[in-house]
Structures are given as C-alpha cells and as structure tokens.
Structure 1
C-alpha cells in the first residue's frame, strides 16, 4: 500500500510526430523542430512555482506523459529530473516513468533516459497486427514494437506492455492470439485499454458517419472477459479496470491518482490536485504549448485555472477513481469528504446483485461490477 503522504509529479510533453485518430489527449504536431530545451527550462520554472506551494512534500513518483515523451532528448529529461531533485525531497525508491513509442529512433534514447534517472518505461505497443497499427495511426510495425520492448526490458528495472483492444473488426480469436504473444513478452505489468471513441477525434467523425464500425457492447464484453481470463492465468490480475500486474509491479504513480492522492502537474494542459490548509485545489494549465511557455516566462507558471474543489465534488472524485481499483474505497474517508455516508440500502441492493462487496471499512466493485462501473458509481453517488 502507498502511504497517505504519497506525492507525485506529472510532466506533460505535448508533442507528437502525428496525431493518432483515436487520441483526445492534449497533443500537438509541429512541422518544424521543437526547441526541446526551452520547453524543459519552462518546465523547470513551473516546477519551482509548485515547489513553493508544496513545501515539505517528499516525491514518491514522477510520470512523463503526453503527447510523446520519448521524443524528448535525454538531456531535456535529465534537466527536468535534476530540477525536481533540487526542489523536493525524493523518496529513495521513487518511481520515475516515461511513456515511450516503440520506433527505432526513440528506442535509441532508452539508455540516455536510464542514465537521467528514469527507472520505468511504459511502451505503447498498442497492437501486434501491422494493418491495425496503420489504422490506429501508429508509425511502427509489430516487429519494431517487440524489438523496442525487449530493449526497454533490458534497459529499465520495470516496464509496461501497453495495448488497445476492441478495435474495429477485431475478433476474439485475433485478440487471443495477440494477447498470448504479448503475455509471452511482458515483464510484470500490462495496460490493456478498450478502444473508446472520443469526441473531437478523427475516429469520432468516422464513427458518426458510419464509416468506422466498432465491436458491439456484447462483443466488447466478451473481449474484456477474455482479457481477464488470459491475464489471470498468466499471473497478472487486474488491479485496475485496464491495468494488470504481478504482485509488487503495479504503477505507483497511477495508484496515487486512483487513491485520490496529491500530485503536481506541469506542462501544457497538465492538471494538479493539491491539499492546502483545509482545502483541496484543482489546477489546470494552458493547453497550447507555445502560449503555455509564454505564460511561464511572464508569471512563473502556465496555469489558467486554480479553484477549490468542494467537499461533495471531492467525494465524487474519490468514488469515481477509487472504485476503478481492486482495493476499492475507504467508506470512512468517503463519509468524511461527503459529509454523509453512502446509503446503506443502496450498498445492500448493489451487493445483492453481485456488483459490489464490502470488506471491513472498504467497498469495492466485483468483476461483474467493473463491467457496469459507471452505473454502479451513479447509483452509489446519489
């Protein structure tokens, strides 16, 4: 278990070589070379601003997300990590993760990232089928992805094998074959996400026009069940809806989010959740990279929103995040945030349907409940 004083830092690198058609993250393509070190210096400046607001915290995890952080030169990653180390106390076993795309050019940077202090890499393999990789907008082949993952496994103490399933036209047999290969390569952690069609993406427009046909709800449920079956057999149970790990290999940084911990987010579009006095603050940075950099130069940070999260909203966020993980939520903590307990009759009703279970003060979704999690949360939150 992560202690209650866990504190994480999220670093957003917003640039990509190309925009994937399913992606709704804050990512941007630049057709001229990006001045990576100027952005790294801006990240360091924003980190200093956050350090002043989080005096006394000890950093337990750092996560470079994006965008495509593996487009960062190792010296830029090193500059950011050196800045963090100079501003906060760092836990001796700090987890430092970087998301990586498995192209050969980016894979060459792995040794540089390791030397800079990265000790965990999340490799976005996404598919082991070249036709589907092309449809997903990925710029690597299945062979390149496996080679990059194997190099990552040799370079870093911990690695995650990340894939997307429930893709257009994907059959159970195809996913079984792909996942079986992936399970033979994994090193203790896998992130396995069902494809979702998000507004504002190219896939959303195609789906609206009927040009992109995704699996039915029943087929998606079958694919989910198959995923659970194969990962369980391989010793990687789901500790979160889409994340699977051998004991001790869970992502500490992501667990911090799901446990509703504190984190500072730096970079374009980054979000933060900080405890200040009796309040919990939600902070959001400007999304546009160059505008964010200008704001940082002018005021020391790129924030465009800094608000107090009302207790009722904190309780809702805790419920939403906490029921995603196998360990569930602490009912006493929920009551303290909400100012009320969850209706016991609702708990009893959901329990009788096999959707939730209670162990002492903790409430968690069952395997069936995780399939209907939005409905479970909506019922309990009322």
Structure 2
C-alpha cells in the first residue's frame, strides 16, 4: 500500500508579512461554510485518483491555518480518514501564529485531531518582530508556546536569523534561549529577500540588504554547532530535531514520496503526475464550483524529470540520496568524485550527501552533480 502525505492550504492571513512570498492573502470576510465545503470537495476529487493509500501525514499550511475554525479542521481530518487508511502514527500538523487569539483555539484544534503544531515565532526580539511585520510581541509568543506545549503532543517553532544589523553574538544568545524551551524540533531560516515582497521593494531602494554570504555562512555554522551540542542536529538544511522527532510530512517531500495537495496554489506529486491548484483564492473557489476540484494543471513527469527532482530534494537532507533508487541515471559521477575530494560531498556506498561546507553552496553543487542540469532556482 502506497504511503501518502496530504497538504491542505489555507490562504488567509490577518496581514501580509514583508518577507513572505507564500500564497497568502488578506480578506475582510471569509465564508467559512463555503470554504469548508470547497476544501472537502477538492479533497474528495484528489482521493478518487489516489485509492488504496495509507496516509502518514496531514499538514495544514498557509497562510495562517490557525485562523481556520476547528470544526473545519476536524471535518477535513475525518474526511481524509474516510478516503484513505490512516497510519497508526499519522502526523497531523498545523501552522499557527503565536497570537493570544489563535492560542485560545489550540485546545479545540487538538481535540479536532491535530497532534503537532508549528509556531511562527520568527524572533525573540521585539524590535526584530516589528521589522518582520509580525503582529505579536515576544511575551505573547512565549505565552502561546506554553499553551501549545500543553495542548499538543509535538511542538515546533520557526526563527529567522541573519537580520540586518544582527550580530553573531546576538543570534547565538537568541538561539541558546530558544533551545532551552524544550521543543524537539526547530526550523531556523536565514532571511532571504524574495521577489515580489515588500522587502524586495525596500532592497531595490537600498533601504535593506541581505546578509553578506560569508557572514551568513558564519551564522549558519554557529547554528549547527549550537543545535548539535544540545541534541537537535540538522536533518535538513534549515530543520533540526531530536532523533525520531523529524517532520514526517516534510520528509515525504525531501525523500520524494507521493503527496496530495489541495486548496489554493497547492502542489502535489501523484503517480508521476505533477499537480497544481489555482493560486488566487477566488479562482480556486470558482474552479471547485465549476469542476468539483481546484486543479489548474497537471503534467505527467518523465522519468528523468522525476530523478532530477529526487536529487534536488534529497540532497537537502543530511542523509542524502541513494543513487540506486533513482529512476534514471542523472548523476555526473566524475563531478561527484571531484566534489567529494574537495570535502563538499560525502560518499558511502551508493549514497551521497552534502557536507556542511557543501550545504552552504548546495545550488552550485546541484548544478554540477546533475548531468545536463537545468537552471536551478536561487
């Protein structure tokens, strides 16, 4: 029976953060009943094309899915369990902002079936939170974290570092504080300025800038040292966990396993088929009303394309990839040997993995590892 991960996208936020390039939208009014019914219809359509699967994870992402009514979350979890067999250890994650309003729903969300929450703390410094456009302060964040730890079996949270003016000492002190909170999973991201965001506009004016690459590398290395020292090593470029506490859902992506995606802008990989839903919420709703699903496009992937995607995703993981598991030979073995000699790759039997120095230049590595590589995103 095929293992399957399910992604459900809730596109709405209270406000748009200046660094965010996710498919998130601010709307004055959301018809909750209409959205629940549309998501259930999109789910039913996707399930009809993926029979006999065992569901290992559900991930509510956004947007801000903690703004969803718990009744909608419960209805989607129940429907997923009717469409597919639920794994006994199914991981059900919901992304949440650490506001007091949303934290008040945590108990109801846990009763709805959510057993893992990912909190967008983003910083433990009030000035940094204002710079990042966050609606909460540190005190509210920590109160929400405490509530989450009482409500959910597993808790993760995000932090952003390499902010303008942030010193290595300041980041190290912040991270040490975060590591004392007792969670078993952290997502730690360097600030990147993405096209189309408010920060991109400010960068074009010369008002802000990304960290110098060498400085960013120093912060990244310090991050690895601190997290490893307390037993939360990186298992992926930006994700850290105690052994056994890795995100099952995200591992499905990085190990290139099948996953279904429903809701506005959601992507999926279904039996060698790449799927994408309409991105704008209103367009997605109209598509569901018209067709019974929100699909905008689906494309059958060639074996080589699948193999290339598997390499690009798998080398984000510390475990790397097993070359014998690839559907086609797409690895430039001569370049692998050369990069291994330079200390950027590690080879063990049929597996290859990026070393710490290699992860710092992963996109460049991929361009050399993949024979006739396509242009890779930054």
Normalised by the length of structure 1, the TM-score is 0.95
What does residue 123 of structure 2 align with? 127
Is 1:380 aligned to 2:366, yes or no? no
SS at match of 1:98: strand
What does residue 200 of structure 1 align with? 196
**Once the two structures are superposed, what CA deviation does each residue of 1:202-257 show, in whole Å capped at 9, x if it has no partner?**
10111111111232111111111111111011110000000000010000000000
What does residue 363 of structure 1 align with? 352
**Once the two structures are superposed, what CA deviation does each residue of 1:139-195 show, in whole Å capped at 9, x if it has no partner?**
000111111011101111101021111111111111011111100014110000111
Structure 1 runs of 4+ off > 6 angstroms? none
Q: Which of 132, 135, 138 is 1:136 aligned to?
A: 132
**Does the aligned pair in 2 maintain the 1:77–1:113 contact within 8 Å?**
yes
Q: Which of 2, 8, 19 is 1:5 aligned to?
A: 2
**In structure 2, how many angstroms separate the alpha carbons of the residues matched to 1:162 and 1:303?**
30
**In structure 2, how many angstroms separate the alpha carbons of the residues matched to 1:346 and 1:11?**
39
Change (3 A) 1:290 1:330: same
What does residue 238 of structure 1 align with? 234
SS at match of 2:317: coil
Is 1:316 aligned to 2:308, yes or no? yes
**Does the aligned pair in 1 maintain the 2:332–2:368 contact within 8 Å?**
no
Is 1:264 aligned to 2:260, yes or no? yes
Q: Which of 92, 104, 108 is 2:104 aligned to?
A: 108
Question: CA offset at residue 5 of structure 1?
Answer: 3.5
Structure 2: any 5+ residue segments left out of the alignment?
A: 372-378
**Does the aligned pair in 1 maintain the 2:184–2:245 contact within 8 Å?**
yes
**In structure 1, how many angstroms separate the alpha carbons of the residues matched to 2:259 and 2:351?**
24
Question: CA offset at residue 58 of structure 1?
Answer: 0.9
**Does the aligned pair in 2 maintain the 1:161–1:186 contact within 8 Å?**
no
Is 1:18 aligned to 2:10, yes or no? no
**Once the two structures are superposed, what CA deviation does each residue of 1:14-72 show, in whole Å capped at 9, x if it has no partner?**
000000000000000012x2112321111110111011100100101000000000111
Normalised by the length of structure 2, the TM-score is 0.96
Give the paired residue count: 371
Is 1:291 aligned to 2:283, yes or no? yes
Deviating more after overlay: 64-73 vs 36-45: 36-45
**In structure 1, how many angstroms separate the alpha carbons of the residues matched to 2:87 and 2:33?**
26
**In structure 1, how many angstroms separate the alpha carbons of the residues matched to 2:217 and 2:50?**
43
Question: CA offset at residue 366 of structure 1?
Answer: 0.8
**In structure 2, how many angstroms separate the alpha carbons of the residues matched to 1:341 and 1:25?**
30
**In structure 2, how many angstroms separate the alpha carbons of the residues matched to 1:291 and 1:375?**
37
Q: Which of 338, 342, 347 is 1:349 aligned to?
A: 338
What does residue 376 of structure 2 align with? none
**In structure 2, how many angstroms separate the alpha carbons of the residues matched to 1:328 and 1:36?**
42
Deviating more after overlay: 214-223 vs 254-263: 214-223
Question: CA offset at residue 341 of structure 1?
Answer: 5.2
**Does the aligned pair in 2 maintain the 1:97–1:122 contact within 8 Å?**
yes
**Does the aligned pair in 1 maintain the 2:255–2:314 contact within 8 Å?**
yes
For the aligned residue pairs, the C-alpha RMSD in angstroms reads 1.1
Q: Which of 80, 103, 106 is 1:84 aligned to?
A: 80
**Does the aligned pair in 2 maintain the 1:18–1:29 contact within 8 Å?**
yes
**Does the aligned pair in 1 maintain the 2:330–2:370 contact within 8 Å?**
no
**In structure 2, how many angstroms separate the alpha carbons of the residues matched to 1:8 and 1:203?**
33
**In structure 2, how many angstroms separate the alpha carbons of the residues matched to 1:59 and 1:170?**
42
SS at match of 2:95: strand
What does residue 60 of structure 1 align with? 56
**Does the aligned pair in 2 maintain the 1:41–1:79 contact within 8 Å?**
no
**Does the aligned pair in 2 maintain the 1:102–1:123 contact within 8 Å?**
yes
Is 1:331 aligned to 2:323, yes or no? yes
